[in-house]
Amino acid sequence: MKEIVLATGNRHKREEIKSILKDLDIKIIPMTSFADYPTTIEDGATFEENASKKARETAEFFRKWAIADDSGLEVDCLNGRPGIYSARYAGENCSYEDNNKKLLAELKGVPEEKRTANFRTVIAVASPDGRLFLADGKIFGTIKKYAAGTDGFGYDPVFYIPEYGKTFAEISYEIKNSLSHRAKALQKIKKIIKNLSNLQLSF
């Protein structure tokens, strides 16, 4: 079985990615399962730059193929913020709740029709010899005026999906993994990985 290292320390992302890619004939190894692994400084100006850097550094470190993502929430009336700073919007080492509280405070008084937003993910797959493949995914919604739901993570409790009448934290894990920004990007990555295998490239 082919192996690929998953370059994230986020437990929730690990679970989502492994679940969505479970039907591929590859063994996904979290980098945290190794005694030593690289810590990438996410200093890129875009999701693409951060995802690419993580995947490349991980592939080079382990001399194995690696997969990484960079994701975030883009709120239209905030000019795309928090964007690439989504995970640390309320400061370094902040909690999900801290980020949501800051976001809701910034949107206080903003009417519902102007609270449009999207979740965006860029997935990068890199090889030890320098090859890089990228895929992105988006899902559109609005930001609620209060948090709702106990499932999910990050901004899920405030990201409302009109078609379902629920936030990401209120829908089932299975539904989220079928329509989320990360799911859309990973479906594209699946095709890339399958093509690599079919072409019998070094994987």
DSSP 94: -
Contacts of 69 (CB under 8 A, 6+ apart): 8, 13, 17, 51, 54, 121, 122, 123, 124, 182, 185
Q: What pTM value is reported for the model?
A: 0.89
Among 1, 31, 25, 26, which Cα is nearest to 13's? 31
Delimit the domains of the chain by residue range: 2-198
**Choice among 23, 70, 129, 151 that is catalytic:** 70
- Which residue positions form the known binding site for substrate? 8-13, 71, 153-156, 176, 181-182
H or E element, residue 96: helix 96-106
Q: Which residues pair with 142 in a beta bridge?
A: 116, 160
CA–CA distance, 122 with 181 (Å, rounded to integer): 9
CATH number for domain 2-198, candidates 3.30.420.40, 3.90.950.10, 3.20.190.10, 3.10.20.30:
3.90.950.10
* Residue 70: active-site member: yes
Please tell me the distance from the alpha carbon of residue 184 to that of residue 126, in angstroms, as a whole number: 19
**For residue 25, what pLDDT band results from cuts at 50, 70 and 90?**
confident
Could you read off the pLDDT of 90-132 as tens digits, one per residue? 998 899 999 999 999 999 999 999 999 999 999 999 999 999 9
